[in-house]
Amino acid sequence: MSKYVPKLSDLKKEFDEKPSVLKGNYSVQEWWDIPVEFRDGNWCFPGKPEVLEDLGFANPRKWAATDENWQLPAGWQKTISDGLQSRLKKYRSLKLFLDSCVRCGACADKCHFFLGTGDPKNMPVVRAELLRSVYRHDFPLVEKILKGFSGSRKLTEAVIKEWHMYFHQCTECRRCSVFCPFGIDTAEITMMVRELLNLIGVNNNWILAPVSNCNRTGNHLGIEPHTFVQNINSLVEDIEDLTGVAVEPTFNRKGAEVLFITPSGDVFGDPGVYTMMGYLLLFHHIGLDYTISTYASEGGNFGMFTSNDMMKKLNAKMYHEAKRLGVKWILGGECGHMWRVVHQYMNTMNGPADFLEVPVSPITGTRFSNAAATKMVHIAEFTADLIHHKKLKLDPKRNDHLRTTFHDSCNVARGMGMFEEPRHILRNVCNTFHEMPEDTIREKTFCCGSGSGLNAEENMENRMRGGFPRANAVKQVKDRHKVNSLVTICAIDRASLPPLMNYWNPGVSVYGLHELVGNALIMQGEKKRTEDLRENPMAGFEDGGDDEE
Amino acid sequence: MKKVLMPLVMVAVLALVPFLGVQYAGLSYLFGVIIPYTAIVVLLAGFLLRLVDWLRRPVPFRIPTTCGQEKSLEWIKYDRFESPHRFWEAAARVLSEVFLFRSLFRNTKAELHKDSNLAYGSHKWLWLGGLAFHWSLLIIVLRHSRFFFVMVPGFTEFLDHADGFLDVTLPTFYITNAVVLAAITFLVFRRLNDAKMRLISLQTDYFPLFLIAAIVVVGILMRYLTRLDIMPVKDQMLRLVNFSFDDPGEIGTLFYVHLFLVSVLAIYFPFSKLMHAGAIFLSPTRNLCNNSREKRHVNPWNASIKFKTYSEYEDNYRDKMKKANLPIEKQ
Amino acid sequence: MNTVLAKFLESNKKAILQQWLDCALALFPEKMGYSTPVAMVLSGALEKILSGLGKSENDCQEALDDVTRILAVQNFPPSKALSIFLEPKLILRDIMMKTTVAGTLTQEVQEAFNSRFDRLTLEAFDSYMRHREKIYQLKVEEGSRRMYMALRRTEA
Ligand code: HEM
Ligand code: SF4
Ligand code: SF4
């Protein structure tokens, strides 16, 4: 713990030097005069040299954000401005978003990081201005003639430090974009700046290590094929212990109808594995002809948080594997950024997927025409369709020990537009479901504060601050309706919301949607179930209790 | 504050230039003919160039911000305008942004309720102020068309009457004049009043507001105070419309100030944030359909990259895969 | 604690609270707006602390926790964070100088108030540290949750 505790002498010094409340001089003139300060808990460790070498990325070295000298490569200014130029040519979005902001401030208080930190540079408009000010300097317009008129500034090392700090305090959640009258999406700007920063070796190990793992082993966690299979098999054993039913997933099997891909967190981490158990139970329940790949074993895509090329590279495995295995279509598990990639990028980047068929549910016969080109269906769409056609035997009472609320994950909400399917499922698998306040759900949902590869341990304080608006909304349903379960359809959420809840709202646990499905499914030949998938007792099903079965 | 005063001074100086120029230097030809022509050329050419400049850049990915339910299963109602699926739905979405400022309407502000629970209440002042500002501006511009046609077009007459229905002054008092000034006042105070807004505002944000306010004020002064003779003005405007380079007739100096400030606005327009008027139509988060899984969106420069193929993967892990009884392609 | 104090606090609660909240919000990089979630929670908690204060046997623990839970994850050091508990003394003095009720507050009562706040500051310190420790604990837990299956295998 000592590592993270600030030194007393530093604190004293800071207290003396900084403007303070007591001195009453907290207000600064211009945002660019506010100094950038890296301190423990507000930055992520940089990419390790060996990781960068493995990926062929620029400027591998040992460094830390708190260093005075960041050892930027020679000519880095040119690298950045050339990089910016070429991206401006390739992306109309970037150019438009840099040109058209009127600084109306509608987005200013919409960002969870601003709401949680009060740091003015976390206002989306200022975050974008961090780049815009440099852009205006580099690409002179008439405005620039009048110096100081439009707030332009030179690209200096201090600016790079500022970029590193604040473009790693944006989770690419797009909430600001919902409120902007011109649809300016700061997430898009963040993605571009992170690409630029990677060109000069300013980066984040928490993002790059998974990227390198995924490239090598097929998944972020670097699980090799045999371990991957072992993991799922031990979940299969757990399922049998709990329900008496033996589910039989297959791996890398050619000729299956469906390839199932989910984030590797579901195979490895707690509580993701319980969601995985839910999927396995569901597929067994309906007799789906599916297979899981150890090669395309990652639904998530941290490449997205690095560069668009890297996103494409990691994503390419999905179609490649589907083609090799000869499946008809792909089914995707619960994940946020994975679905942003699949929904908005995959077919453009790695399509067309002519070797696949338009997805048709083998159980209900529903043709998923909304996925006619990409040929990948979201598990919530798939399950909602099953429930709608009454193909599942469900006992929602088995989730009576859970009083739920639903967290819309940013990417699924604002990058895909899926709101009703998960709610339809949730209402059918449990009896108590309360929505959080209106302006904190659906397209206005608050990010968990750890998205886009910011969920590093060393970044914990930042994450707690950024997640505060979300936690605060949960607290309201907790106080009002005794909610104790936060249900979500995102792997990053399943990893990052538990600490968030533990800190702000102890007593609220985090669940994947299909974990609740798994709890509620009445399996053929099952034994009497008294515990949920986490081996917690279910209310009203205690041994010897009077339930109607 | 420097960033408010500077633009204010700039506008004042700009207003003084034609006044001195015409009154004392007799430069009415410069201010009545040359500058207006230049301004209109710069505005049109600049606006067009900026548009072309944007349009020629590709839209590699289909990235609408989805603010409502996507079209998926048949029995789930999708949100046509917040998650458009067809072209006309996306077009309606853009137009609702243009005419109604739909996204601004969503604006919220956190509020504390009595039970000390936090809620995010709606906050519609910016939407209202912005809408009032832009609509009045539009109507004012359209009203001015009566100076440019020998025969006043019907709809201009209509606007004139509708706008001037409060027939309390002579000449007729236009509502929009009052509204636009009120709205500008609000927009400026909004920027000054709130710490956040003070911080994000630049000189280039105050400047157009002051400039437009100055144009309106000078216009009003002309009309109600100095009771400017309209006919020579109309003559001059007609001459300009007919591409005539003749000397302007005798017109009050105030008119030159008005005309010059409008010219400045026109010249400033294409190089500044005012280009949002064009950008709003092109914004890829608003004008694209949310149907990228149904129809393939093509990226003209789709980067070619090398990824790690299955056979490379199998080569790396063949033994481990065999041990785990995983099927393999090559022994 | 004391009925005179309770009365005084009751009648000046609004003014004290406002100033106190202002100090708290001014801790943040740019003064945090009143309508942000952070300000909401702080204002609720500070009010609870204040209204609990005049009464005897008051337990402001929960409200205190709410405040320090926010402060413990901010970008400023503990010395600065906890400085907000020093503020009320000054605010009280200020207000007493301005109001006529001031005369009715004896030296003794003031001292009671001050010592109560001293105690509160110490309690806040404890609470702050508890939350810091929670953060470290979260880091450890998160690591093991992430490696859940690996840990399970090594245990087995
Ligand atoms: C297609 C036409 C246009 C649309 C849809 C549009 C939309 C908007 C919106 C949504 C805002 C932000 C809200 C606000 O501050 O009011 C705005 C701001 C602004 N617009 Fe427009 N606009 C258009 C044309 C124009 C034109 C032609 C001008 C000026 C000649 C103009 C001048 C301004 C100014 C000065 C602001 C900034 C207001 C402020 O500083 O608060 N707009 N516009
Ligand atoms: S809402 Fe849009 S236009 Fe307004 S300040 Fe934010 S990014 Fe700029
Ligand atoms: S995308 Fe999300 S995190 Fe980033 S600036 Fe916008 S609201 Fe903040």
Task: Look up residue C138 and give its two tokens.
Answer: 């979260």
Average pLDDT over every residue of A354-368: 95
Q: What is d(CA B99, CA B122) in angstroms, rounded to the nearest whole number? A: 20
The answer to whether residues C80 and A20 touch, using CB atoms and an 8 Å cutoff, is yes
Q: d(Cα A91, Cα B218) in Å, to the nearest integer?
A: 42
| Contact across the interface for C38 and A14, Cβ inside 8 Å | no
Confidence of residue A387 (pLDDT cuts 50, 70, 90): very high
Are A466 and A450 in contact, with CB atoms under 8 Å apart? yes
* Separation of alpha carbons A417 and A442, rounded Å: 9
Helix axes A124-138, A76-90, angle to 10 degrees: 110
Q: Closest Cα partner for A288 from A253, A316, A340?
A: A253
**CA–CA distance from B123 to each of A109, A439, A512 (Å)?**
12, 12, 34
- In 3-state terms chain C splits into helix, strand, coil percentages (rounded to 5) of 80, 0, 20
| % of chain B beyond a pLDDT of 90 | 52
Least confident of A16-30, B234-248, B284-298: A16-30
User: Comparing A79 with C30, which gets the higher pLDDT?
Assistant: A79
Q: What percent of chain A shows pLDDT beyond 90?
A: 72
Q: Nearest residue on chain A to B113, judged by CA atoms?
A: A476
Tell which A residues from 376 to 415 touch B, by Cβ distance under 8 Å. Answer: 376, 381, 384-385, 388, 413-415
Q: Torsion angle, CA of A182/A187/A192/A193, rounded to 10 degrees? A: 110
Tens of pLDDT, residues C70-98 = 999 888 888 888 888 888 888 877 777 77
- DSSP characters over C54-94: SSTT---HHHHHHHHHHHTTSSS-HHHHGGGGTHHHHHHHH
pLDDT of residue A36: 85
Asked if pLDDT for residue B244 goes beyond 60, the answer is yes
Fold exhibited by the domain C3-155 = Globin-like (1.10.490)
Residues of chain B neighbouring A436 (CB-CB closer than 8 A): none
- Maximal CA-CA distance, chain B: 99
Any A CB within 8 A of B226 CB:
no
Mean pLDDT of chain B: 86
Q: Give the pLDDT of residue A150.
A: 75
Question: What pLDDT, on a 0 to 100 scale, did the predictor assign at position A229?
Answer: 93
Please report the pLDDT score of residue A3 as a whole number: 41
Q: How far is the CA of B50 from the centre of ligand 3 (A)?
A: 28
Cα distances (Å, whole numbers) of residue A546 to A6, A17, A451, A530, A540: 56, 68, 44, 12, 7
Chain A nearest C-alpha distance from B240 (Å):
27
What total number of domains does chain B contain? 1
| pLDDT at residue number A146 | 57
Q: How far apart are the CA of C30 and the nearest CA of chain B, in angstroms? A: 8
Tell me how far apart the alpha carbons of residues A503 and C94 are, in angstroms, rounded to a whole number.
Answer: 36
Instruction: State phi, psi for A441 to the nearest 5 degrees.
Output: -130, 180
**C-beta of residue B17 within 8 angstroms of C-beta of residue B258:** no
Chain B CB within 8 Å of residue A252 CB: yes
Mean pLDDT of all residues in B53-65: 95
State chain A's mean pLDDT as an integer: 88
Sequence-ordered list of residues with C-beta below 8 angstroms from that of B293, at least 6 positions apart, any chain: A342, A343, A347, A370, A371, A372, A373, A374, A376
CA of A307 to the centre of ligand 3 (A): 18
- For residue A119, give the nearest of C29, C132, C136 by CB distance: C29
Distance CA A231, CA A236 (A): 9
- The verdict on a CB contact (< 8 Å) between A24 and C27 is no
Facing residues of A360 across strands?
A367
pLDDT in tens, A88-102: 999 999 999 999 999
- Does the pLDDT value for residue B10 go beyond 80? yes
pLDDT for the residue numbered B166: 63
pLDDT bin (cut points 50, 70, 90) of residue A312 is very high
Q: Select from A379, A399, A395 the least CA-distant residue to A338.
A: A379
CA distances from residue A344 to A349, A373, B85, B296 in whole angstroms, order as listed: 9, 12, 14, 10
Global confidence as pTM:
0.90
Q: Which residue in this structure is represented by tokens 């604002």?
A: A414
- Lowest average pLDDT, out of A19-28, A288-297, A367-376, C101-110, goes to A19-28
Query: What does the CA dihedral C123, A116, A479, A413 come to, rounded to 10 degrees?
Result: -160
Largest distance between two CA atoms of chain A: 83
* Full residue range of the structural domain in which residue B11 is found: 2-305
Model confidence at B330, pLDDT cuts 50, 70, 90, reads confident
- The secondary structure element, H or E, covering residue A331 is strand A329-332
The token duo for B246 is 């003749």
Alpha-carbon distance A507 to C66, whole Å?
A: 15
Task: Look up residue A175 and give its two tokens.
Answer: 């909430």
**pLDDT tens profile B134-159:** 999 999 998 888 777 777 777 777 77
Helix segments in B106-201, DSSP class H: 125-143, 154-163, 175-193, 195-200
Domain contains B321? no
Q: Residue B14 in contact with residue B256, Cβ under 8 Å?
A: no
Choose the closest CB to B272 out of A143, A295, A416: A143
Q: Give per-residue pLDDT as tens, B173-212.
A: 788 888 999 999 999 998 888 778 888 888 889 999 999 9
What digits encode the pLDDT tens for the residues A515-529? 999 999 999 998 888
Q: Does B118 touch chain A (CB under 8 A)?
A: yes
Which of A83-97, A357-371, A406-420, C127-141 is predicted least confidently?
Answer: C127-141
Domain boundaries, chain C: 3-155
Least Cα distance to B13 among B274, B273, B264 occurs for B264
Asked if the model's pLDDT at residue C33 lies above 80, the reply is no
For residue B41, the domain's CATH number is 1.20.950.20
Confidence of residue B171 (pLDDT cuts 50, 70, 90): low
State whether A116 and C37 contact (CB < 8 Å).
yes
Residue B300 lies in a domain: yes
The verdict on a CB contact (< 8 Å) between A117 and C36 is: no
What residues have CB less than 8 Å from A520, skipping those under 6 apart?
A394, A395, A396, A398, A399, A428, A429, A430
Does the residue B216 lie in any domain?
yes
Q: Do A225 and B273 touch (CB under 8 A)?
A: no
Per the prediction, chain C carries an average pLDDT of: 80
Among candidate residues A496, A535, A500, the one with its CA nearest the CA of residue A401: A535
- Strand (E) or helix (H) holding A487: strand A485-488
- Alpha-carbon dihedral C102, C106, C107, C110, rounded to 10 degrees: -70
Q: And the tokens for B21? A: 């120029």
AA letter at A349: M
ipTM of this predicted structure = 0.90
For ligand 2, atom 6, name the residue with the nearest CA: A107
Long-range contacts of residues C22-25, Cβ cutoff 8 Å, at least 24 apart: C23/A21, C23/C84, C23/C87, C23/C91, C24/C67, C24/C84, C25/A118
Query: pLDDT tens, B99-137?
Result: 999 999 887 665 544 444 444 555 788 899 999 999 999
Each residue's pLDDT tens digit, B206-236: 999 999 999 999 998 888 777 667 777 878 7
| Token pair belonging to B77 | 């109602």
Give the pair of three-digit tokens for residue B57: 């850049």
The residues near C87 (Cβ < 8 Å, ≥ 6 apart) are A21, C19, C20, C23
pLDDT of residue A25: 40
Q: Is the pLDDT of residue A474 over 60?
A: yes
What does the block give as tokens for A27? 């207000």
pLDDT for res A19: 39
| Residue of C78 and A283 predicted with greater confidence | A283
For tokens 């045999």, name the residue.
Answer: A226
- Parse chain A into domains and list their residue ranges: 28-203, 211-520
Closest CA to B276 of A175, A181, A123: A181
User: Residues A178, B67: contact at Cβ < 8 Å?
Assistant: yes
Contact B296 A418 (CB under 8 A): no
Note the pLDDT of residue B113: 46
At position A223, the amino acid (one-letter code) is I
Token pair belonging to B210: 């002051």
Q: Is A101 in the pocket of ligand 2 (CB under 6 A)?
A: yes
Please report which confidence band the pLDDT of residue A6 belongs to, taking 50, 70 and 90 as the band edges.
Answer: very low
Give me the torsion for CA of B74, B79, B84, B89, rounded to 10°: 110
